[in-house]
C-alpha cells in the first residue's frame, strides 16, 4: 500500500539539490513543512510580493525547479511511488478528483504536500484545473476525461428524466449500462464512481443518495429544505424539537429550535398533526383543525358513524378520542347515531 512517508526523506533530499530561493518557492507552492513551520499552499502572487518579483517570474522559478528535480540523479528513487500512484488512478478509471486522491492515499494531512509534489514531478500524471462543471482532478490517460464527460452527461439526462434520487447501487448500474451502450465495453464500478465524483452537477446527499446538485433533496439550503429532506427520509411525523436534533445529527448543521418551528408553521408543505408534531402534506395529511377535518369528511361522505369518524380523523391527527368527541358537538347527529352536517 502506498505510504508517502516512505518517500518523504528522498523528496527532502532531492529538494536540497536546488538553490535556496527555488527550494523556498517549491516548498511554499506545495505547502511542504520547512524549519518546523507548516506552510499552506501559497499563491504565485503572495510569494512574488515577498521577493519583489512578478507572478510570472515565480511561475518560471517553480517550473525550472521542477525540471531540476526531475534531472536529479536521485530522481530515479521516486519511480516506485509514481507507479503506485498511477496504479491507484488507473484502478479508478484513469482519473481521480484531486482532494480524494489526497484523502485516500495520505490520511495524514501534514504529508499531503509531498503527494502533490510527486504528482507534479511525475510526467505520467496530467492535471485538470477546476471548472464550473468539474472539480480539479489528476489523470493518467487522456481518453479517461472523454469517457467521464460522456458518462456524466448520460447520468444527468437520466436524472432529469426520472426526477428521482438514486442510491449508489442504482446510479452505478445506470452508468455501467450506459457505458456499455455508448462505448461497447464494460466499465468497472470504480470507474463510474470516480467519474461521478469529479462532476459538480451530480452530488451525493447526506443519506447516500445521488441527484442533481441543484435539487433541494441533494443540497438543502435553508431550514425548510433541510427539515423537508430529513422528515421525508424519516418517513414519519416528528415533534419539531426531535426534528431539530435529527437534522443536526444527520446533516451536521446547527439548527435553532425556535427558527425551525417558525418555518414549519409558515410552510404549507408541513402539517401539524399533534402538539408540536409535524408531517409532510405529500403523505396525505390535510391542513386544518380537528373540526375542519370532520367537516371535510362529512362533505364527502354525508353521514359517518362515530367509529368511522374516530378512525379517519386519527389517520390525520395524533389526538385523543376525547378531543374528537368535543369537536363533534358542532355537527348534527341522526336518529341512527351517525353524524352529518
Place of cell 495520505: 106
Residues with Cβ within 8 Å of 335's Cβ and at least 6 positions away in sequence, in order, are none
Task: For 204-213, write each residue's pLDDT tens digit.
Answer: 999 999 999 9
Which of 164-176 are b and which e, b meaning 16 or more Cβ less than 10 Å from the residue's Cβ? ebbeeeebbebbb
User: Which pLDDT value is given to residue 41?
Assistant: 82
Task: For 121-170, write each residue's pLDDT tens digit.
Answer: 999 999 999 999 999 999 999 999 999 999 999 999 999 999 999 999 99
**Looking at residue 272, what DSSP letter applies?**
E
Place of cell 371535510: 296
| Number of Cβ atoms within 10 Å of the Cβ of 148 | 25
Q: Tell me the C-alpha to C-alpha distance, in Å, between residue 133 and each of 130, 157, 317.
A: 8, 15, 46
197 close to 104: Cβ distance less than 8 angstroms: no
115 close to 4: Cβ distance less than 8 angstroms: yes
Task: For 62-102, write each residue's pLDDT tens digit.
Answer: 999 999 999 988 888 889 999 999 999 999 999 999 999 99
User: Which pLDDT value is given to residue 96?
Assistant: 98
Q: What residues of the chain score a pLDDT lower than 70? A: 1, 33-39
85 close to 100: Cβ distance less than 8 angstroms: no
**Which residues, in sequence order, are bridge partners of residue 127?**
138
Report d(CA 173, CA 322) in Å as an integer. 53
CA 33-39-43 angle, to 5 degrees, is: 130
User: What angle do helix axes 240-251 and 257-266 make, rounded to 10 degrees?
Assistant: 110
User: Which pLDDT value is given to residue 131?
Assistant: 96
**What is the model's pTM?**
0.80
**Which residues, in sequence order, are bridge partners of residue 97?**
137
Place of cell 507552492: 29
208 close to 170: Cβ distance less than 8 angstroms: no
Amino acid at each position: 500500500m502506498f505510504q508517502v512517508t516512505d518517500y518523504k526523506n528522498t523528496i527532502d533530499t532531492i529538494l536540497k539539490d536546488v538553490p535556496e530561493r527555488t527550494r523556498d518557492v517549491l516548498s511554499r507552492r506545495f505547502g511542504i513543512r520547512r524549519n518546523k513551520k507548516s506552510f499552506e499552499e501559497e499563491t504565485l502572487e503572495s510569494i512574488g510580493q515577498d521577493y519583489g518579483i512578478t507572478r510570472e517570474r515565480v511561475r518560471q522559478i517553480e517550473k525550472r525547479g521542477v525540471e531540476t528535480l526531475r534531472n536529479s540523479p536521485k530522481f530515479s528513487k521516486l519511480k516506485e511511488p509514481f507507479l503506485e500512484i498511477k496504479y491507484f488512478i488507473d484502478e479508478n478509471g484513469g482519473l481521480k478528483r484531486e482532494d480524494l486522491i489526497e484523502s485516500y492515499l495520505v490520511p495524514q494531512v501534514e504529508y499531503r504536500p509531498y503527494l502533490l509534489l510527486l504528482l507534479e514531478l511525475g510526467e505520467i500524471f496530467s492535471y485538470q484545473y477546476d471548472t464550473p462543471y468539474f472539480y480539479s482532478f489528476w489523470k493518467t490517460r487522456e481518453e479517461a476525461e472523454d469517457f467521464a464527460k460522456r458518462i456524466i452527461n448520460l447520468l444527468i439526462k437520466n436524472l432529469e428524466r426520472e426526477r428521482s434520487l438514486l442510491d449508489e447501487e442504482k446510479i452505478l448500474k445506470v452508468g455501467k449500462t450506459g457505458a456499455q451502450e455508448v462505448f461497447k465495453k464494460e466499465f468497472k464500478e470504480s470507474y463510474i464512481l470516480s467519474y461521478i465524483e469529479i462532476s459538480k452537477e451530480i452530488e451525493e446527499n447526506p443519506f447516500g443518495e445521488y441527484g442533481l446538485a441543484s435539487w433541494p433533496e441533494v443540497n438543502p439550503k435553508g431550514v425548510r429544505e433541510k427539515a423537508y429532506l430529513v422528515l421525508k427520509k424519516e418517513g414519519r411525523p416528528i415533534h419539531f424539537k426531535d426534528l431539530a436534533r435529527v437534522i443536526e445529527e444527520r446533516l451536521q448543521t446547527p439548527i435553532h429550535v425556535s427558527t425551525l418551528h417558525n418555518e414549519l408553521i409558515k410552510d404549507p408543505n408541513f402539517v401539524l398533526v399533534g402538539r408540536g408534531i409535524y408531517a409532510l402534506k405529500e403523505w396525505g395529511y390535510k391542513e386544518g383543525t380537528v373540526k375542519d377535518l370532520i367537516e371535510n369528511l362529512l362533505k364527502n361522505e354525508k353521514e359517518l358513524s362515530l367509529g368511522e369518524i374516530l378512525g379517519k380523523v386519527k389517520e390525520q391527527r395524533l389526538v385523543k378520542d376525547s378531543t374528537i368527541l368535543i369537536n363533534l358537538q358542532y355537527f348534527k347527529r341522526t336518529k341512527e347515531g351517525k353524524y352529518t352536517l
